[in-house]
């Protein structure tokens, strides 16, 4: 007989050995099971997935359908995109494709805003998208607006974008009118500011909220600097217009605010000095300020002088002159050049072409001084 203490020792030994055996068997079973569940086909699919994952930005853009010419445009406009991180770039392209933007749209966006993909467009993305969809009404119109102004996805949403939109809606520019202005004036949101002086200028135009010109008056004054507005108004007053005349003209043709002081001066000088028209005529025919001096006004006026010199008919003078200046090129040549015999028409056409080639003195060496946006 063994003592009880000896039997207890043996019993403990057998129990512990049994536990170790069970654990070892289970571990071996788990290892075997894990190894056996990954088949050859699955290993090949995982390898293919790893190979399909883009290794760099070039492969990312190619995966999105960009051709070699598209890549050349993108990387020449923003070389740093060649070394962009793959994961963030993929994430941003997925967001853009979800908005319906195509490969050509992406190329246009990079050309317009080279640093666009450096921006955090995923910030407030869902909230911004809901706001923009409500504003533009459809995904197609939104896509058009984003291609025109990609910064709609990068503006400070709460502090800049929403307050500006609310301000225009409060002033009576909303719906389709506001959409048209956002698409035609990409600088509308970042450059808008209103104060008492600007509100007074809007009143001076005497344009009602129901007028088709109202949205142009409000937005152009909103994005223009006070100093620029005063300078352009004073420039027109130099030609004998009263302040009331100027604001009345701007109310009927607000796009004059987009013209430079130099262009208005040159056109007005030509209309008054060379054509011998009264400055007041511009109030009735604002197109005289928009017409290209070197390509339209000067060549056609010179041709009118040539027709008079050669005593040919029809003559270009009086009210016919104003009609002739507004004609398209083909219609103008048909009405006043090609209506003559072939030899005369050839001479007139050569004279007209030569007149169109005349440039201002030192035009080619002129230094263009840009002060931000032209308006």
146 burial via Cβ count (<10 Å: 0-12, 13-18, 19+) = buried
Write down the pLDDT at residue 254.
Answer: 96
Looking at residue 54, its pLDDT comes to: 78
Distance CA 250, CA 98 (A): 42
> What pLDDT score was predicted for residue 178?
96
CA-to-CA dists, residue 170 to 62, 161, 173, 212, angstroms = 45, 14, 7, 17
Cα 192 to Cα 168: distance, rounded to the nearest angstrom: 9
Say how many C-beta atoms besides its own lie within 10 A of residue 343's C-beta: 8
- In this prediction, residue 375 carries a pLDDT of 35
pLDDT value of residue 6: 46
Summarize pLDDT for 233-269 with one digit per residue, the tens: 999 999 999 999 999 999 999 999 999 999 999 999 9
Model confidence over 97-114: pLDDT tens digits?
899 999 999 999 999 899
pTM strictly above 0.85: no
Tokens of 331: 């219609």
In b/e form, how buried is each residue of 19-32, taking b as 16+ CB within 10 angstroms?
Answer: eeeeeeeeeeeeee
Residue that has been written with the tokens 């949101």 in this structure: 189
Please state, in angstroms and rounded to a whole number, the distance separating the CA atoms of residues 294 and 323.
Answer: 18
- What is the Cα–Cα distance from 295 to 267, expressed in whole angstroms? 12
Query: Could you tell me the mean pLDDT of each successive run of 10 residues in the chain, 375 residues long?
Result: 44 45 41 43 43 79 90 93 91 91 92 90 90 94 94 93 96 95 93 96 95 96 96 96 96 96 96 94 96 95 94 91 95 94 94 83 49 39
> What's residue 124's pLDDT?
87
| 232 vs 226: CA distance, rounded Å | 10
């Amino acid at each position: 007989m063994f003592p009880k203490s000896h039997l207890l020792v043996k019993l403990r030994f057998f129990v512990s050995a049994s536990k170790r055996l069970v654990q070892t068997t289970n571990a071996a079973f788990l290892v075997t099971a894990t190894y056996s569940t990954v088949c050859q086909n699955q290993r090949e699919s995982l390898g293919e997935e790893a190979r399909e994952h883009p290794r760099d930005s070039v492969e990312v853009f190619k995966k999105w359908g960009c051709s070699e010419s598209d890549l050349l445009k993108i990387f020449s406009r923003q070389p740093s995109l060649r070394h962009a991180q793959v994961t963030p770039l993929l994430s941003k392209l997925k967001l853009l494709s979800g908005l319906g933007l195509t490969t050509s749209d992406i190329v246009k966006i990079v050309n317009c805003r080279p640093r666009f993909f450096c921006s955090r467009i995923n910030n407030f993305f869902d909230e911004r998208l809901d706001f923009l969809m409500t504003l533009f009404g459809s995904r197609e119109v939104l896509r058009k607006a984003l291609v025109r102004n990609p910064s709609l996805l990068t503006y400070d949403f709460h502090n800049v974008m929403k307050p500006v939109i609310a301000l225009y809606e409060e002033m009576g520019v909303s719906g389709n009118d506001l959409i048209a202005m956002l698409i035609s004036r990409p600088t509308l949101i970042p450059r808008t500011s209103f104060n008492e002086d600007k509100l007074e200028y809007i009143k001076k135009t005497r344009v009602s909220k129901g007028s088709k010109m109202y949205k142009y008056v409000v937005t152009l004054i909103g994005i223009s600097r006070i100093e620029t507005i005063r300078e352009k108004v004073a420039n027109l007053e130099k030609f004998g217009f009263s302040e009331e005349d100027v604001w009345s003209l701007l109310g009927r043709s607000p796009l004059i605010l987009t013209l430079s002081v130099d262009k208005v001066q040159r056109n007005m000088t030509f209309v008054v000095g060379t054509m011998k028209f009264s400055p007041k005529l511009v109030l009735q025919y604002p197109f005289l300020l928009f017409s290209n001096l070197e390509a339209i006004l000067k060549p056609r006026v010179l041709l009118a002088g040539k027709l008079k010199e050669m005593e040919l008919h029809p003559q270009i003078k009086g009210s016919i002159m104003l009609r002739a200046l507004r004609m398209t090129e083909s219609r103008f040549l048909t009405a006043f050049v090609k209506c003559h015999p072939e030899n005369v028409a050839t001479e007139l056409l050569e004279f007209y072409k030569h007149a169109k080639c005349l440039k201002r003195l030192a035009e080619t060496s002129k230094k263009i001084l840009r002060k931000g946006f032209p308006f």
